[in-house]
Amino acid sequence: MFPQRPQFKEFIQPLTHLTCFSCNTENSRPFKDGDYVFKEVEEKCPKCGSSKMLITGIYIEDRQIKERER
């Protein structure tokens, strides 16, 4: 009956991919303000416990897009 406010597409937050300097393990977490590719961050490696990691990528994974479309 009343005109509906058009809905905007939800914005997908990219994931930050990190690689451990000690054991080369790769893991990801949601993007945090201040992250950029090739930044060295003081974060604990989930595998070896080392506290220095490198951001190797920041991108939206295909599965995130599929989840939004579902």
Residues that bind other proteins (CB under 8 A): 5-6, 8-9, 11-12, 14, 31, 33-39, 55, 57-62, 65
What does R_g of the chain's alpha carbons equal in angstroms? 17
Is the CB of 2 or the CB of 36 nearer to other proteins?
36
Which is nearer to other proteins, 14 or 50 (by Cβ)?
14
Q: What is the residue whose two structure tokens read 């897009």?
A: 65
Nearest-angstrom CA–CA distance, 10 and 70: 12
Quick one: 25 or 35, whose CB is closer to other proteins?
35
